[in-house]
Amino acid sequence: MSLTLLVLTVFLLLQGMQAYENEFCYCIGQVHGASEYQGFDVIILDLDDASKELVESLREEGALVLAYINIGYAEEWRSYWQEVKRKGIAHEESEYEGEYLVELWSPHWSSLVEERAREAMEKGFDGVYLDNIDAYVTIGQDNPPWAIGADPERAMISLVSSVRGVVGERPIMVNIGVATSLLADEVFIQLVDGVLREELLQELLGECTSVPREPREVMSDLFFLEVARLRGKTVVDVEFVDSWGEMSSEKMFLALMGISLVAQPACDPGYEGLPIRIDG
């Protein structure tokens, strides 16, 4: 083996080892005791379920704790639901029960989102995690009567900007979903600090079953994720698997791309439990 090849092999192995780090914990289904989150560097918890005491405890342990806020859909179990109904800005139900398409451009929705962000700051969260950024894509594709004349994409960027106005310099991470092309928008990319993409390599078909995504779609997403990474943004991929062993080749590939990996149990698409840890 030549010296160049040896150095390259060692480099690849070291990069692969970095993918084994328990960096991210995305857990919004239920709240666990502080001890369950030990070893994670970044922890995403539901804003309503995580107490101020838990957030403080996790921060004291050195973790970056982000508040989950669904920015793209209105949820009927949230405290704001009656106001959303009264204003008439929620419409068709999404694929998830109790979650509804919402008029992203409505000043009422913007005010509610800002209120959620302020609550996160008051609870002591380090920053926010904004879910369902790609809701604007669904609205644009469906083109429902209530959205005629609106610009859902610009409305979403405006919403993220309004959150930035609340949190200041504190980190904003977004779940970009299928809207990876938005990462090439100069205004949007300056508003966010991190990007999460679920099912980058494997598509979840219901609970417990994943299949490889089309290579062309993966490469397209990787292009825009690389745009974000080159702009200094943290990039994370969540894959639904049964064990870390399933990700043996993928984790090396993602590490080389500068992408952190969260191994979420395939039978837990609702993030009820903790990610699969490297140590079991």
Q: Which residue is associated with the tokens 């292009």?
A: 223
Inter-residue contact 225 to 235 (CB < 8 Å): yes
d(CA 99, CA 102): 9
User: What does the block give as tokens for 225?
Assistant: 């994720």
Residue 13, pLDDT score: 39
Strand pairing class (64-70; 127-131): parallel
Residue 15, pLDDT score: 42
d(CA 29, CA 59): 20
Residues 6+ apart with CB under 8 A from 263: 239, 241, 243, 244, 246, 247, 275, 276
Residue 14, pLDDT score: 42
d(CA 7, CA 112): 53
CATH 3.20.20.70 for domain 3-265: yes
User: What does the block give as tokens for 57?
Assistant: 């405890």
- The pLDDT tens digits along the chain (280 residues) read 455 544 443 344 344 434 445 689 999 888 889 999 998 999 999 999 999 999 999 999 999 999 999 999 999 999 999 999 999 999 999 988 999 999 999 999 999 999 999 999 999 999 999 999 999 999 999 999 999 999 999 999 999 999 999 999 999 999 999 999 999 999 999 999 999 999 999 999 877 888 899 999 999 999 999 999 999 999 999 999 888 777 777 777 888 888 998 999 999 988 988 998 876 5
Residue 174, pLDDT score: 98
Residue 246, pLDDT score: 79
Residue 246, classed as helix, strand or coil, is helix
Residue 201, pLDDT score: 94
Residue 170, classed as helix, strand or coil, is coil
d(CA 32, CA 47): 14
Q: How many CB atoms lie within 10 A of CB 53?
A: 11
Inter-residue contact 90 to 139 (CB < 8 Å): no
Residue 22, pLDDT score: 62
Query: One-letter amino acid identity for 3?
Result: L
